[in-house]
Each structure stands twice: as structure tokens, then as C-alpha cells.
Amino acid sequence: EDKVVQSPLSLVVHEGDTVTLNCSYEVTNFRSLLWYKQEKKAPTFLFMLTSSGIEKKSGRLSSILDKKELFSILNITATQTGDSAVYLCAVLGRDDKIIFGKGTRLHILP
């Protein structure tokens, strides 16, 4: 059965800290991995990763994929209170279906 597992499930850090969120997967016919940020309502798209070893960056956020070990990490440096959210990892697999992990709830303390 296809699955996406995120860790940790929740994380509390102080403003300015750096955090690393993990996403491992077992998905048939992997096509791409996606990261989303969900604050109050609908998720917003962060990154799409298709190839191993190529880091994607957007400001203080970065992500990388390892297709051999079947995982991805999302890094956030110099965290701010506005980074508090649930971060969702999703994998696009066979039959064009997308499988989501349960998310990591990140809380940044001022």
C-alpha cells in the first residue's frame, strides 16, 4: 500500500531557530514530491521535487529529495512566528493519484 510518513508530527521551537521536517514515502511509480504549507484553511504550494539531489530554495525555505532512500526534507532557517503552520508532504504516484502525509504541526515561539 502506498504511504507517505512525515516526522515529527509536531514541533515547537523559538524564533530564529532552524528546523528540518522529514517526509519518507513508499509509492508505486513515483513521479514527484510536493510540499505545502497549511495555516488556517487551504494548503498553499511550496515546492515540487522530481529529481534527486537538486535543492529547491525560496527565501528561508529549502527542500531536497533523495529518491534512493525515498525521503525528502524541508528546511526553514531563521524561523519567524509567521512560519507557524502545518506542513504537508504529498507524493504523486501511479494513476496520477496524490497521497498526502499527516503533516507536521510547527509552532514558533516568539
Partner 1 sequence: DGGITQSPKYLFRKEGQNVTLSCEQNLNHDAMYWYRQDPGQGLRLIYYSQIVNDFQKGDIAEGYSVSREKKESFPLTVTSAQKNPTAFYLCASSIGVLLQETQYFGPGTRLLVL
Residues that bind partner 1 (CB under 8 A): 4, 31-32, 34, 41-45, 48, 50, 88, 90, 92, 95-98, 100-103
Minimum Å gap between C-beta 15 and partner 1 is 26
Report the residue number, 14 or 42, with the smaller CB distance to partner 1: 42
Report the residue number, 19 or 49, with the smaller CB distance to partner 1: 49
Report the residue number, 10 or 80, with the smaller CB distance to partner 1: 10
Number of CB atoms found within 10 A of residue 2's CB: 14
Minimum Å gap between C-beta 34 and partner 1 is 7
Assign 101 to helix, strand or coil: coil
Burial level of 7, CB count in 10 A (0-12/13-18/19+)?
Answer: middle
Minimum Å gap between C-beta 99 and partner 1 is 8
What are the distances in angstroms from CA 99 to CA 26, 33, 38, 95?
A: 10, 10, 16, 11
